Structure 1
Amino acid sequence: MSTIRLTTAQALVKFLNKQYLSVDGVEHQFIKGIFAIFGHGNVLGLGQALEQDRGNLVVYQGRNEQGMAHAALGFAKQKLRREIIACTSSVGPGAANMLTAAATATANRIPLLLLPGDVFATRQPDPVLQQIELSQDLSISTNDAFRAVSKYWDRISRPEQLMTACINALRVLTDPAETGAVTLCLPQDVQGEAWDFPEYFFRKRVHLLDRRLPTESQLAQAAELLGRKQKPLIICGGGVKYSEAGQALCQFAERFQIPFAETQAGKGTVISDHPLNVGGLGETGCLSANMLAKEADLIIGIGTRYTDFTTASKWLFQHPQVDYLNINVSRFDAYKLDAVQLVADAREAISALESRLLDSNFHSDWGSMIEQAQDKQRLETERVFQATYGSEGYVPEIDDALDRDAVFAEFNRLTHSFLTQSSVLGMINERLPADSIIVGAAGSLPGDLQRTWRTKAYNSYHVEYGYSCMGYEVNAALGVKLAEPQREVYALVGDGAFMMLHSELVTSLQENAKINVILFDNMANGCINNLQIGHGMGSFTTEFRFRNTQTSRLDGGLIPIDFAAVAAGYGCQTWQVTTLEQLGQALEESRHSPFSTLIDVKVLPKTMVHNYLSWWRVGVAQISESERINDVARILNEHIDKARKY
């Protein structure tokens, strides 16, 4: 057997260079690069290996471990899980910083390869720098925390263990039913240890994307169920996009006149103007989709994991005879809501079910309801996009106990802006290039986007909402730009999320990978502020206010921040916007900027779009001194009684 003597780290780099994914006969180099922040735990091991011979891997210099991992996530998601960028960090804090990104990857079913350094396998120098050293178990390090958020986890304590660990890592990363975060912990001494690796370990490996086919018995059961229904509604989830099943979905829907609604991950698979696309569904869904959801007698969930936002906490589907048909490559997700299951690739299952139904003369019985719902939605979208201060419906329908006008007056005094969030989104939706990509993740923006944003091009809507991770937006936008360098990329982010994490904005400048940040500054964590007020509370520690020295509470004046100045300090071209005219000019100029931009938009607090015919179950105090909270608790219990229990 021929061997080659390499360090563990050198062997890992050589192996990663030889991994390919074949999708429908097209080969993709699966691991395109590696984000790195080097410290004592990885610089002399994996860092040395990359300096010596990185092969085809592009090495990117991260600024924050969570930020760079979110950039890698954005890349993999935009590439439909066909290509990934790995991430390496030092031990201790550097590794711990990647935990949030690992959880985000696993929750969203996005492949993410993490290579954190680890403490010494020999334990001889213990306790080393950044080692926790738990007295009850000396084998535990910071990296054990990744076990809870990884789909595969391993620690390479001997060089020869690398081989089985790498094979299993690629097994999970390339499996659409099992993918998520994969963590290979690399003790710093083992990274530098040499071993005679067999040469066959470094041969080119082509991993085949398994387009699992539905079984005949499953197809028969699905067709029989569908044939008994009159008003089916399709949920287009992320699995439709990753399977590239959009065309198959359209053909199926058109043949049988079945409307389809979108999850956050599924939005952008089919453009919004398709005559059967009724828009976002659920708690952050739009009027048209939620209207039809209440009338549907069959829910066909394709590639969705049925989060509580999609189902409105299992309350949305109110038809007394509603049933569920789930098409999903994951058996775990297919079984949800006690559904009839088609465990298969989305594209293959849709096509097979269509063929099975051709001779049945099946046709939905929605009549004019689809068009009527879409007409109402168009009028509603126009209304909120045109909503200005003082106009009807310019704020959500929240309790009058909050003195909104006083808040607006204070905000206007500091910013000279009366812009509403919905009108700003309307102009952005109108003015952005048709093929540009928007990136979002948390706060009120994902809700407004799913309810009102009109997609004009395929895969142009990139919102992470499986984990709703604040801080994803700006950093993932870099990954999206690396995935699609010819398209304009816009991160839509709130001020709270921007302050949490925007580290890779600097990396975008370093890489000449231009991204555009549109920052909505309402001086609050506005989504949660709206949530607490809408559930009977006052505004408590969610607005960004100075501490009041007289009350010792955070109820002083609002805190003004010049975010444009922050980004300008990095080297971005920036604008501060307080009118729609200024916004239009900034959008136009940012398109022509050769480097990353930030538009600091001052928007009135509490001017997001309200929900439509939905409900979200949250933890509400069952007893309170406030009658408003007690009233909310009573409503909560009434809704729980109507919600599905499994």
Structure 2
Amino acid sequence: MSPTPTRRLTVAQALVEFLAQQYTERDGRRHRLIAACWGIFGHGNVAGLGQALLETGGERMPYVQGRNEQAMVHAAVGYARQNDRLSAHAVTTSIGPGATNLVTGAALATINRLPVLLLPGDTFVTRPAEPVLQQLEAAYAGDVSVNDCLRPVSRWFDRVVRPEALIPAALQAMRVLADPVDTGAVTLALPQDVQAEAFDWPEDFFAERVWHVRRPAPDASALAEAARAVRDAARPLIIAGGGIHHSGAEDALKALADSTGIPVASTQAGKGSLRHDHPADVGGVGHTGTAVADDLARTADLVIGVGTRYSDFTTASGTLFAAPGVRFLNLNIAPFDAHKMGGAALVADARAGLEALTGALRGHRVDAAYEAEYRVGKSRWEEAVDRAYAAEDESARPSQSQVIGALDAVVGEEDVIVNAAGSLPGDLHKLWRARSPRQYHLEYGYSCMGYEIPAAVGVRLAAPDRPVWALVGDGTYLMMPTEIVTAVQEGININLVLIQNHGYASIGGLSEETGAERFGTAYRFRAADGTFTGDPLPVDLAANAASLGMAVLRPRTIRELREALATARASDRPTCVYVETETADTVSGAPAPQAWWDVPVAQTATRPAAVKAREEYERHAAGRRRHL
């Protein structure tokens, strides 16, 4: 027998060559699994992966220079979500603070089930001297490094301690990244001495490999049971989750709604599953939902969850689905989620499951009176949105809802809005009129401040022909503006809407509701009594954005805001629209929450605000149910 052909490369070079040959395939369409690698280099990866990307990367593995390790993961997550999880990015860092900075981004990716490959350097396997720079010495174990912080927030973790161990580790990493159930952050910790070590690799390791993304169909008996449940229901309601988008099931959902007349409410991740003007679309559901969707949820006798995790915001902390005898039917590719809420489980791909269910329900339609009821409710909510967007005086400063309304008037179907934290997610979920499936990009599984700007960069890399808007408040902006520099450097044309409201507006409002009296939430000078109730701080965030290379527009009125947004959309460079809202403490202008959210309030207190808040808390908590 002739010897197996081999190629002599370092571990880092071999990994780059391997990643360049990995593809996903779904419905006959192929995608690069790892399309690029973000990196910040230090001693733990500069001579390994840094050298490998220089020598063997290029067009085979494009490199993107980041400014913050957490932000690089956010950018990679934005890219993966825009690509329906079929294509992802890798992120490499040095050992030490570079690696631990990955933890927040890894948690976000895993919670949202979005693929990203993390390649942190690690300490020496050969232990030539201990401790080396940035090495954590654990008195109870010799094989622990700071990278072990990534274990609980990774869907899969391995440390490559010998060259030949890379082969099974890399293959397992690709399997998890391409799996629609198991995907999330995948970590391959790479000791810096092993990265630079040469090995004779089998040529087959570098062969083109295609990972097929499956679409499992529902079990026939489970499908029949599901169809019976729908036919027997008088007031069914569909909850569309993020799985609709990940599966590309928007048309299948529309077909089911068209044929049956069942209304469709959406989670933050599922918003846009139907266009806002579809007759069956009743908007967001849960604590940040619309009045019509939440009223339907309270009276539904069958809740059909499609691709949803049933988070506490969706269920209003277990208080929303209040009808006696309410049942649940859950269509989800993940058995873990399909069996939640004590419901009947339809374990399948969202598109395949919806198509099968539509076929099984042929000829069935909800009662005409039920359709008429929710359409009236939808019309009333649209009027509420119009009121929130309206401005009697266009020479006044805008409220936050008027900022959203001004943007709504400027964008087209192709635009993408990116947001994650603060008071904006609640206002957007209630008010935004989604025109296309991937227009509404809200990261609300982790609601991570600082996500928006780097994620917008990732979205724009995935969709270079779509205008992309990062919507941030001042608190979020101060956490992570760094990837503005990357956008400017690479000519990645993103738009930033920066709302100055002088503090943590969302938590300030929550603090007030829960009896904590906005403590520690305002960006103000200290007053004579030591509280943060003095004048607003004289920070100029617009000047900061300009110093990082953005073009900056400073509209002062509602009229100027609308003009500035149009100018930014037409610009050929990264542009910031900086706007101060109408009061220092921010008046949102959006309708109040339509359902509860459980934030425990002090059970004993002397301050009247906390005592009153506890009474209100107990009133709401009494309505909580466990659906078994």
Give the TM-score, by structure 1 length: 0.94
- The equivalent residue for 2:383 is 379
- The equivalent residue for 1:592 is 570
Higher mean C-alpha deviation, range 571-580 or range 481-490? 571-580
1:116 to 117, 120, 132: 120
Q: Is the 8 A contact 2:514 2:599 kept in 1?
A: no
- The equivalent residue for 2:146 is 142
Q: Is the 8 A contact 1:286 1:611 kept in 2?
A: no
Is 1:518 matched with 2:500? no
Kindly tell me: are residues 259 and 232 of structure 1, through their superposed partners in 2, closer, same or farther at Cα, counting changes over 3 Å? same
Q: Which amino acid aligns with 2:555?
A: V
Superposition pairs of residues 256-295 of structure 1, within 5 angstroms: 256-295=260-299
1:17 to 3, 15, 20: 20
- The equivalent residue for 1:351 is 355
Question: Partners of 1:361 and 1:533 in 2: how far apart?
Answer: 45
Question: Partners of 1:475 and 1:436 in 2: how far apart?
Answer: 17
Superposition pairs of residues 438-449 of structure 1, within 5 angstroms: 438-449=417-428
Show structure 1 runs of 5+ residues with no match. Answer: 392-415
Q: Which amino acid aligns with 2:601?
A: V
Q: Which amino acid aligns with 1:25?
A: G
Q: Is the 8 A contact 1:232 1:364 kept in 2?
A: no
- The equivalent residue for 1:171 is 175
Q: Which amino acid aligns with 2:587?
A: T
Question: Partners of 1:169 and 1:515 in 2: how far apart?
Answer: 31
- The equivalent residue for 2:81 is 77
Kindly tell me: are residues 11 and 361 of structure 1, through their superposed partners in 2, closer, same or farther at Cα, counting changes over 3 Å? same
Is 1:583 matched with 2:594? no
2:537 to 559, 574, 596: 559
| C-alpha displacement of 1:78 | 0.7
Q: Is the 8 A contact 1:387 1:422 kept in 2?
A: no
- The equivalent residue for 2:43 is 40
SS in structure 1 of the partner of residue 46 of structure 2? coil
CA deviation vs aligned residue, 1:168-212 (integer Å, no higher than 9, x gap): 111110011111000000000000111111111111110001101
Question: Partners of 1:244 and 1:435 in 2: how far apart?
Answer: 17
Superposition pairs of residues 317-356 of structure 1, within 5 angstroms: 317-356=321-360
Show structure 2 runs of 5+ residues with no match. Answer: none
Question: Partners of 2:366 and 2:97 in 1: how far apart?
Answer: 58
Give the TM-score, by structure 2 length: 0.96
Q: Which aligned runs of 4 or more in structure 1 are off by greater than 4 angstroms?
A: 359-365
Question: Partners of 2:133 and 2:466 in 1: how far apart?
Answer: 43
Superposition pairs of residues 48-197 of structure 1, within 5 angstroms: 48-54=51-57, 56-197=60-201
SS in structure 1 of the partner of residue 104 of structure 2? helix
Is 1:619 matched with 2:617? no
| C-alpha displacement of 1:585 | 1.9
| C-alpha displacement of 1:592 | 2.5
- The equivalent residue for 2:410 is 431
- The equivalent residue for 1:487 is 466
- The equivalent residue for 1:235 is 239
Kindly tell me: are residues 388 and 529 of structure 1, through their superposed partners in 2, closer, same or farther at Cα, counting changes over 3 Å? farther
Question: Partners of 1:624 and 1:599 in 2: how far apart?
Answer: 43
Question: Partners of 1:541 and 1:498 in 2: how far apart?
Answer: 18
Q: Which amino acid aligns with 1:2?
A: P
Q: Which amino acid aligns with 1:538?
A: E
Q: Is the 8 A contact 2:253 2:273 kept in 1?
A: no
Higher mean C-alpha deviation, range 265-274 or range 94-103? 265-274
Number of residue-to-residue matches in the alignment: 620
| C-alpha displacement of 1:555 | 2.8
Quote the sequence identity (%): 45
Question: Partners of 1:558 and 1:195 in 2: how far apart?
Answer: 61
Question: Partners of 2:295 and 2:284 in 1: how far apart?
Answer: 11
SS in structure 2 of the partner of residue 39 of structure 1? coil
Kindly tell me: are residues 637 and 115 of structure 1, through their superposed partners in 2, closer, same or farther at Cα, counting changes over 3 Å? same
Question: Partners of 1:518 and 1:359 in 2: how far apart?
Answer: 47
| C-alpha displacement of 1:224 | 2.0
Question: Partners of 1:192 and 1:328 in 2: how far apart?
Answer: 43
2:526 to 547, 564, 577: 547
Q: RMSD over aligned Cα, in angstroms? A: 1.6
| C-alpha displacement of 1:363 | 5.7
- The equivalent residue for 1:413 is none
Higher mean C-alpha deviation, range 290-299 or range 155-164? 290-299
Q: Is the 8 A contact 1:91 1:118 kept in 2?
A: yes
